[in-house]
Amino acid sequence: MHLNLSSQTSNPAIISALAWNAVRDSLTKLGKWELVNYIESVKITPTRITIKTLKPIVNMELSNHQESIKERIEESFKTFGIPKTERKIVFI
């Protein structure tokens, strides 16, 4: 049996929620759970993943783990059938 979630995963709010969860999972696996508390939002566009934090120093720490975060987001999107596109991660 194949579950078709394409109608739900085309919603920008759902895609952002999946990305937010993937960021949280990635930081937890990296032992950086405390950084999650400083993340205000995660937004997705066709070309960009924007992670907004409460402190600029957190952006620097997150940028050290950029590849792990991006891989986890892509893995999550693949699981839910969201087409892969090249997105740049931006921390603001």
pLDDT tens digits for range 49-69: 999 998 999 999 999 999 999
pLDDT digits (tens, 9 = 90+) for 13-37: 888 999 999 999 999 999 999 999 9
What 4-12 contacts at long range (C-beta under 8 Å, 24+ apart), as own/partner pairs, is 4/81, 5/80, 5/81, 6/81, 9/80, 9/81, 9/82, 12/44
CA distance 42 to 83: 18
- Would residue 55 count as lying in a domain? yes
Total structural domains in the chain? 1
- Would residue 7 count as lying in a domain? no
- Would residue 5 count as lying in a domain? no
Q: What is the rounded radius of gyration, in angstroms, for the C-alpha atoms of the chain?
A: 13
- Would residue 2 count as lying in a domain? no
CB atoms within 10 A of CB 14: 16
pTM for this predicted structure: 0.83
- Would residue 31 count as lying in a domain? yes
Range of the domain at 23: 12-91
